[in-house]
Amino acid sequence: MSLALATLDVNVELEAHLPCRKFDPDLWFSDSPAELELAKSLCGDCPLRVECLAGAVERAEPWGVWGGEIFERGAVVPRKRPRGRPRKEDVARDAALRVEAEARLAASGLSATRTAVRLAA
Q: What pLDDT, in 10s, does the model give residues 10-58? A: 455 566 679 988 899 899 999 888 999 999 999 988 999 999 999 999 9
User: Model confidence at 2, in pLDDT bands (50, 70, 90)?
Assistant: very low
Fill in the DSSP letter of residue 76.
E
Rounded to two decimals, the pTM is 0.60
Q: Is 25 annotated as a binding residue?
A: no
CB 90 within 8 A of CB 34: no
* Whole-angstrom distance, CA of residue 72 vs CA of residue 59: 13
Q: Could you tell me the residue range of the domain that residue 68 belongs to? A: 3-106
Question: Does pLDDT of 120 surpass 80?
Answer: no
Residue 42 lies in a domain: yes
Q: Is 115 annotated as a binding residue?
A: no
To which H or E segment does residue 77 belong? strand 75-77
Q: Is 1 annotated as a binding residue?
A: no
Q: Is 52 annotated as a binding residue?
A: yes
Residue 72 lies in a domain: yes
pLDDT at 67: 93
Residue 99 vs residue 94, higher pLDDT: 99
If one counts the domains in the chain, the total is 1
